[in-house]
Amino acid sequence: MIELLIASSNAHKAEEFSELFDSKIVTVKPATKKLEVVENGLSYFENARLKAEAYYKEFKTPVLADDSGLNVQALSEELGIHSARFGGEGLTDKDRALLLLKKMEGISNRDAYFTCVLCVYLNEKEIFYFEGRMSGQVGYAYRGSGGFGYDPVFIPLEGGGELTVSELSEWKNKNSHRAVATGLAQKFFSQRS
């Protein structure tokens, strides 16, 4: 079994990862304090590593960091690694999702996908990455009360066709981009031990 510190003080994030991992293989715990890490990488991989490295140096223990976002084909330069800052400072998750819907008005190509990159930083010489994706489309309305971020405006291809991720909470737990990346990490560590 491997124990990892989440590169976040957010107990909810640690709880989410705990539910995704088999505790006989990987256990996770939140950091005791939040570090301010400048995410100035040019990719999900770079940003995940920046967080993992900073937390590893501070806490001297193996770290799990993630970077994720929504990639929208029609707005390729606006979201992606900038998803959490889309629209500028001071916006809520709902504000960002509604802004996305507004910017997509009149656009027929609504193809999009969520990406999650996990960086497991065991030490300076053992750094592993795992990537998960969830393909779908940007919907036409804000629907659902589950999930967070862009979930209420994203319709996954494999989720049944019409429902947003926010309306598919149970499905999301098994099929999201984060669940896919976590599954790959878990498989890797189960074979490594």
Give this prediction's pTM: 0.92
What pLDDT digit, counting tens, does each position of 159-168 carry?
777 899 999 9
How does DSSP classify residue 122?
E
Catalytic residue among 22, 66, 67, 93: 67
What pLDDT digit, counting tens, does each position of 60-87 carry?
999 999 999 999 999 999 999 999 999 9
Q: Residue 14 has what pLDDT?
A: 79
Tokens, residue 66 = 């993630």
Enumerate residues 6+ apart whose C-beta is below 8 A from 18. Answer: 27, 28
Query: How is the chain split into domains, by residue range?
Result: 2-192
3-state SS track over 21-79: CCCCCEEEEECCCCCCCCCCCCCHHHHHHHHHHHHHHHHCCCEEEEEEEEEEHHHCCCC
Q: State mean pLDDT over 36-42.
A: 93
What pLDDT digit, counting tens, does each position of 1-26 carry?
899 999 986 667 778 888 899 999 99
Instruction: Say which CATH topology domain 2-192 has.
Output: Maf protein (3.90.950)
Q: Identify the helix (H) or strand (E) that includes residue 166.
A: none
Q: Residue 10 has what pLDDT?
A: 66
Average pLDDT taken over every residue of the chain:
93
Told to judge if 66 belongs to the known catalytic residues of this protein, a careful annotator would answer no
- Quick check: 51 pLDDT over 80? yes
Output the CA torsion sign for 122, 174, 157, 114: negative
